[in-house]
């Protein structure tokens, strides 16, 4: 038989921790759920992309994971709600309200209203996320990396001068077309892992790093003090978000360039380092990638449909199990 080994029979009752950004992470998690039925999956989500718009707290990556796993995602787009309309956005624009570059739909607004109301009432983001997941039943335990507010800011220099802008302004409004001089997670040093994060890592049988953005998704989570150190004690397998020198979709190369890292599966592996990663999945054309202390395997890395995504997740699990 060809294809990746089917590990489904072995994964029941496993405790799996996965980090996750937005689209890449969420799609991979769908495959992980399919590859490991009966396992307990805890997802540590990136909150560095979070932003306050129109007085509402928006958590794009947590919501992408929640909607994707809960069946409410806009499949073509990869983010936002299905069947979405934009009446509120249009009405705000008619008043001349800024910003107008961030696409918040009517259905999505409800999520942010509830989140903002609960935060204002004193609930931490982890409890707010749990409450929102009561509706979506994502089938994983979704934890924000931290209840403390952190925000990724990007230092850019263009006609308007040298300044720091919120990550979303650089990513969504500027489409990452202005080179980033620096990417900084504001508040990182003071942030504490959200309740449950370090316990979940400690109790995990294995940890998977999905093909999420290595700088502003995985890299952000790793900056929360205590998380990287806890992960270093575990069996960790990562899936390269770079295939043959290019991010599969999106603009992750702009983030890597900003921190002086080449856009390659080799460079991302070196960025994570062998203290963190024990196994690394790359695409066939990157099979020359190597790092001391890391088991590298070539596999089909494209999450083109649900079967391919499940097989990719199964390959990551199989590699992790062989390294435990
Ligand atoms: P974001 O928060 O929406 O940007 O999503 P993530 O941080 O989770 O992941 C985005 C990254 O996932 C992209 O920049 C790609 O490098 C990677 N990615 C997306 N689709 C695929 C895929 O099918 N295969 C692999 N290997 N990587 C992918
Ligand atoms: Ca993101």
21 lines ligand 1 (CB under 6 A): yes
Distance 23 CA to ligand 1 centre (A): 6
Return the CATH class of domain 8-49+139-148+190-323. Answer: alpha beta
pLDDT at 10: 64
User: CA angle, corner 245, sides to 240 and 316, nearest 5?
Assistant: 15
Q: Mind listing the pLDDT tens digit for each residue in 41-93?
A: 999 999 999 999 999 999 999 999 999 999 999 999 999 999 999 999 999 99
Residue 56 parent element (H or E): strand 56-58
Distance CA 62, CA 115 (A): 12
* pLDDT score, position 272: 98
Structure tokens at 3: 């294809």
Indicate the domain borders of the chain.
8-49+139-148+190-323
pLDDT tens-digit series, residues 189-201: 999 999 999 999 9
The pTM assigned to this predicted structure is: 0.96
Phi, psi of 171 (to 5 degrees): -80, -50
**CA 278 and chain centroid, separation:** 20
142 by Cβ neighbours in 10 Å (0-12 / 13-18 / 19+) ranks as: buried
Does the beta carbon of 58 sit less than 6 angstroms from any atom of ligand 1? no
What is residue 8's predicted lDDT score, i.e. its pLDDT? Answer: 52
| 241 Cβ closer than 6 Å to some ligand 1 atom | yes
- Closest C-alpha residue for ligand 1 atom 25: 241
- Ligand 1 atom with least separation from CA of 309: 23
Q: Give the residues of the chain that fall short of pLDDT 50.
A: 1
Cα 294 to Cα 181: distance, rounded to the nearest angstrom: 31
> DSSP states of 33-82 as a string?
HHHSTT-EEEEEE--TT-EEETTEEE-HHHHHHHHHHHT-B-TTTSSSBT
Report the Cα–Cα distance between both ends of the chain, in Å, rounded: 25
Mutation probe of ligand 1 site: the residue of 21, 145, 168, 211 with most atoms within 8 A of C-beta = 211
Ligand number with the minimum distance to the CA of 58: 2
């Amino acid at each position: 038989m060809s294809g990746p080994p089917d590990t489904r029979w072995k994964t029941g009752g496993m405790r799996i921790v996965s980090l996750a950004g937005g689209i890449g992470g969420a799609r991979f998690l769908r495959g992980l759920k399919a590859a490991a039925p009966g396992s307990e999956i805890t997802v540590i989500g990136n909150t560095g992309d979070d932003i306050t718009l129109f007085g509402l707290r928006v958590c794009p990556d947590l919501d992408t994971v929640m909607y994707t796993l809960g069946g409410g995602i806009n499949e073509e787009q990869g983010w936002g709600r299905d069947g979405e309309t934009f009446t509120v956005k249009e009405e705000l624009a008619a008043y001349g309200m800024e910003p107008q570059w961030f696409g918040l739909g009517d259905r999505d607004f409800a999520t942010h209203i509830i989140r903002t109301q609960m935060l204002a009432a004193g609930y931490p983001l982890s409890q707010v996320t749990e409450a929102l997941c009561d509706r979506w039943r994502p089938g994983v335990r979704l934890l924000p990396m931290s209840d403390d507010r952190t925000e990724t800011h990007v230092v850019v220099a263009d006609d308007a001068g040298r300044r720091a802008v919120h990550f979303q302004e650089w990513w969504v409004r500027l489409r990452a077309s202005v080179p980033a001089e620096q990417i900084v997670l504001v508040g990182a040093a003071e942030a504490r892992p959200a309740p449950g994060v370090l316990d979940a890592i400690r109790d995990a049988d294995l940890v998977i790093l999905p093909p999420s953005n290595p700088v502003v998704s995985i890299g952000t989570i790793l900056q929360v003090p205590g998380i990287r150190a806890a992960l270093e004690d575990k069996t960790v397998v990562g899936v390269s978000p770079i295939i043959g020198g290019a991010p599969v979709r999106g603009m992750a190369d702009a983030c890597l360039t900003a921190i002086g890292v080449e856009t390659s599966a080799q460079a991302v592996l070196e960025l994570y380092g062998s203290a963190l990663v024990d196994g690394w999945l790359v695409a066939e054309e990157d099979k020359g990638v190597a790092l001391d202390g890391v088991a590298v395997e070539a596999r089909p890395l494209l999450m083109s449909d649900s079967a391919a995504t499940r097989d990719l997740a199964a390959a990551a699990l199989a590699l992790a199990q062989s390294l435990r």
